[in-house]
Amino acid sequence: MPKKTKENDELNKGKKVTKKSSTKKATTTKSATKKASTKEASTAKSATKKASTKKATTTKSATKKTSTKEASTAKSATKKTSTKKATSKKKSSIKGTENEKVEIVEYYDLPYRYNQTIVKTLAQTPTTLFIYWDISDKDRKDFENQYGENFFQITKPILIVYNDTLGYKFEIEINDFANSWYLHVADSKCNYRIELGRRPIQKNENINVDYIYITSSNKIESPNDKILFDPNQKMVYFRNVKTNVETSKSINTLSFIRNMGKIYDIYDLYKAIYQNENIEEIYDNSNPSSSPSSRFF
């Protein structure tokens, strides 16, 4: 973490707006001051925002003094008096709201980056991992100090994907313009972790290794995507959730299977209990409850 105390350039400063609903007008005061720090890059914008559901037009302006460690966008907002009139009118009719109130008019943008050396992964589907990464300015500098100023030009970024369940790994080449990636993996229900590293594009006197480790991700398990018909499953384990007593039964002794006579394993049982479904595709992905049809939005 940066030790300096001025990192809050990652976001803009809000502006104070005094609104007097009794006059049904809003008076706006602008102020947007960026504090100084030496490490973070920030950008300032002048723009006009139009929120789809809000009619207020907002103009922004900001002044930038120096850059700070974390990239950010800073804006300050001024609401046009004309559009706030309507709001003030409405407000005055709501009982219980103050006649005069101080309100901070805010506008935020998400920081472009957090200047961390990081790689994280999430499972989007059983066979698609989402991976995002970044290398902090400090670490970049350290690599350049160690391997030469052109380190990032003479090496290429790679991700090494470890499947710890099946014990294999593979690598993919990414590029320095991306900061996230969707990656197809072959095996569902497996533990994965990702390593971010770099390989020299060609032999170089400064780099006498063929791989430079940067950082590792969190570990995740990709979801399962099928019914686990395990022919070796001979026992079924039960727990009484009131007493916590656990018992086991052999599949062959379960009375419903015994009585069925011809059912010998779970696959056949599923075929019987899901009589109206296709057992091979028992989960219907087009089921409308999975769609937004019942949401308000």
Partner 1 sequence: MQQKKGYVSFVLHAHLPFIHHPESDDYLEESWLYEAISETYIPLLTNFQKLVDEGVNFRITMSMTPPLLSMLDNKLLQRKYIKYLKRMIELSEKEIKRTSNDERLNRLAHYYFDRYSNDLHIFKEVYGCNLIQGFKHFQDIGVLEIITCGATHGYFPILYVNEKTVKAQIAVGVQTYEKYFGRKPRGIWLPECGYVPEADKYLKEFGIDYIITESHGILYADPTPIYGTFAPIVSPEGVIAFGRDIESSRQVWSSINGYPGDYNYREFYRDIGYEADYDYIKPYIAHNGVRVHTGIKYYRITGDTEFKDYYNVQWAKDSAEKQAGHFFDSRSSQIEHLSNYMETPPIILCPYDAELYGHWWYEGPYWLYILFKKIYYDDCNFELITPSEYIDKYPNMQISSPCRSSWGANGYSEVWLNPTNDYAHRHLHVAGDRMCELANLYPDAKGLKKKALNQCARELLLAQSSDWLFIITNGTMVDYAKKRIKDHIGRFTKLYYQIKDDNIDEEFLKDISKKDCIFPEIDYHIYQ
In the region spanning residues 182 to 241, those forming contacts with partner 1, defined by CB under 8 A, are 182, 189, 218, 220-230, 233, 236-241
Cα(14)–Cα(106) distance, integer angstroms: 5
Segment near partner 1 (CB under 8 A); pick from 40-48, 97-105, 164-172, 199-207: 97-105
Cα(107)–Cα(77) distance, integer angstroms: 6
Binder of partner 1 out of 96, 167, 231, 261 (CB under 8 A): 96
First to last CA, the chain: 39
Between residue 143 and residue 182, which ones bind partner 1 under the rule CB under 8 A? 180, 182
Q: Whole-number minimum distance, CB 293 to partner 1, in Å?
A: 6
Q: What's the CA angle centered on 103, arms 99 and 106, to 5 degrees? A: 150
For the chain, the C-alpha Rg in angstroms (whole number) is 30
Taking the least distance from each CB to partner 1, the nearer of 208 and 291 is: 291
Between residue 257 and residue 296, which ones bind partner 1 under the rule CB under 8 A? 260, 266, 269-270, 272-277, 282-285, 287-296
Cα(156)–Cα(198) distance, integer angstroms: 5
66 makes contact with partner 1 (CB under 8 A): no
Q: Are 12 and 75 in contact (CB under 8 A)?
A: yes
Between residue 12 and residue 51, which ones bind partner 1 under the rule CB under 8 A? 12-14, 16, 51
Chain centroid to CA 133:
11
Segment near partner 1 (CB under 8 A); pick from 88-96, 135-143, 163-171, 194-202: 88-96
Q: Whole-number minimum distance, CB 129 to partner 1, in Å?
A: 10
Locate all alpha helices (DSSP H) within 77-202, ordered by sequence: 81-92, 137-147, 151-154
